[in-house]
Amino acid sequence: MNQIYETQADRTDLPLVAIPCVFEDMVAPLKDALALLDGIARVRMFEDYTLDANTFVERAQGADAVIVIGVHISDDMLRALANTVRCMAFGGTGVASYIDFDLARELNVRVCNVRHYGDAAVAEFTFALILELARRVGDLDRELRAGDWNGVSSVELAGKTLAIVGFGGIGQTVARIAQGFGMHVTAWNSGRGPRERYTEHNVTPIADMKELFASADVVSIHMPLVGGTRGMIGSAELDALRPGTMFVNTARAEIIAPGALVKRLERGDIPAGLDVYYQEPLPTDSPLLDIPGLVLTPHVAWRSDGANRNLTRQCVEDIAAYFEGGKKNVVVDPDEA
């Protein structure tokens, strides 16, 4: 039987917050954060993780607000939840690929996210992928265990150029790590935001995306998914990559035009590390699984002990603000439609 954790269960006068599923490593930090809802809302949390849509909706029955951890909310799910739910707090930053904003607004559901909760976590994981592509530690471990002592030559990062697309909190953290390895760092200059940030981080801005890609030894994507960034990287940009350039995406798959990355990777000359996909979980018949030279992980760059604490607290703060008439991390506000 599923373990259910409840707070203020006897306070039926208070609104109900449902947490229909949660990763095991987030249960403890969530319980700590739920004290912020004392006297504001009662909570019903299911201490397991499920991707089953019907189960998720059933567990949220009667809730006024829902905390969503790692679950894509389909249009059908959203319509069912909107019978009672007026606020949804997502445990992530780029929630545009998890819920239809226009439909949420139409159904009068506020959508909140969390911000800068995992800059260090994602940046560190980005380098875990880069290092795996460059030094192939996983492959070497498997070969040694199979009795192979030959080893392989690998790529030294010192002196190489890392190009960053998306120079916000995560991108800037990645830049600092890269410079610790002795790498030269460039970044796409979108023309938005203060130009001083490039100087402050000793990063060379490049306005032309194809030029950025063509001059890089490693490319790492850190753009948020918003209307203007969907499909912003296409075949023309990917074709500018030189053979051997490492490509890493820990942001959102939808930043890249549909099919463009698979087409480029199928040439077999670009090693890549991917943590995000157009369809999640990644289908077992995905062509990515048959392309050599790839490191694929199940959208976990954001998951760390520190990020878990920041994420869960912000989710609870989002909900508390809603019930108290305030606003925190609001990305869809039906009142401003």
Nearest to 178 by CA among 193, 167, 190, 194: 167
Q: What is the mean pLDDT of the chain?
A: 96
Question: Does the pLDDT value for residue 337 go beyond 80?
Answer: no
Same domain (yes/no): 129, 258: yes
The answer on 138 and 109 residing in a single domain is no
Contact 126, 165 (CB under 8 A): no
Q: Which domain holds residue 27?
A: 4-117+304-336
The reply to whether omega before 281 is within 30° of 0 (cis) is yes
For residue range 156-189, list pLDDT tens digits in order. Answer: 999 999 999 999 999 999 999 999 999 999 999 9
Instruction: Identify whether residues 152 and 263 lie together within a single domain.
Output: yes
CATH code for the domain of 318:
3.40.50.720
Same domain, 280 and 199: yes
The model's pLDDT over 59-111, given as tens digits with 9 standing for 90+, comes to 999 999 999 999 999 999 999 999 999 999 999 888 988 999 999 999 999 99
pLDDT digits (tens, 9 = 90+) for 287-307: 999 999 999 999 999 999 999
For residues 211 and 179, membership in a common domain is answered with yes
| Strand duo 4-7 + 184-188: pairing | unpaired
Check whether 34 has a pLDDT greater than 80: yes
Nearest 5°: CA angle at 291, between 290 and 297? 85
Q: Are residues 156 and 278 in the same domain?
A: yes
153 and 180 assigned to the same domain: yes
Domain count, the chain: 2
Both 134 and 264 in a single domain? yes
Instruction: Answer whether 261's CB lies under 8 Å from 241's CB.
Output: no
Tell me: pLDDT of 114 over 70.
Answer: yes
Whether residues 194 and 221 fall in one domain: yes
Q: What is the mean pLDDT of residues 320-333?
A: 97
Tokens of 23: 């990763």
pLDDT at 1 over 60: no
